[in-house]
Amino acid sequence: MSRGQGSTVAGLLQEVRARFAEADLDDPATEARILVGGLLHLSSTELVTCSSDAVQPAVVEQARTAIGRRLNHEPVHRILGEREFYGLPLRLSPATLEPRPDTEILVDTILPHVRRLESEVGNVHILDIGTGTGAICLALLHECPQATGVGSDISSEALETARGNAERNGLAARFTTVHGSWFEAIHERFHVIVSNPPYIASSVISTLAPEVKDFDPPAALDGGLDGLDAYRAIAKDAARFLHPNGMLGVEIGYDQRETVTSVFEGAGFLLLEAVRDYGQNDRVLVF
Contacts with ligand GLN by CB under 6 A lie at 97, 100, 196-200, 212, 221
94 is in an annotated binding site: no
Q: How far apart are CA 209 and CA 228, in angstroms?
A: 21
Q: Shortest CA distance to 243 belongs to which of 137, 114, 111, 107? A: 114
d(C-alpha 229, C-alpha 49), whole Å: 50
Q: Is 245 labelled a binding residue?
A: no
Please say which residue, 31 or 53, places its beta carbon nearer to ligand GLN. Answer: 31
Output the smallest distance, CB 100 to ligand GLN, in A: 5
86 marked as binding residue: no
Residue nearer to ligand GLN on the CB measure, 39 or 250: 250
Contact 219, 154 (CB under 8 A): yes
Which CB sits closer to ligand GLN, 199 or 287? 199
Beta strands in 165-229 (DSSP E): 175-179, 190-195
Instruction: Report d(CA 219, CA 238) in Å as an integer.
Output: 20
When CB distances to ligand GLN are compared, the closest residue is 199
| 28 assigned to a ligand binding site | no
Closer Cβ to ligand GLN, 28 or 197, answer by number? 197
CB of 197 to ligand GLN, least distance (A): 6
Q: CA-CA distance, 226 to 250, in Å (whole number)?
A: 17
CA proximity to 275, closest of 247, 245, 244, 254: 254
Q: How far is the CB of 277 from ligand GLN (least distance, A)?
A: 10
Please state the φ and ψ torsions of residue 54, each to the nearest 5 degrees: -75, 150
In the complex with ligand GLN, which residue's Cβ is closer, 55 or 138?
A: 138
Q: Give least dist CB 211 to ligand GLN, A.
A: 9
Q: Which residues are annotated as a binding site?
A: 130-134, 153, 182, 196-199
Residues flagged as binding site for S-adenosyl-L-methionine: 130-134, 153, 182, 196
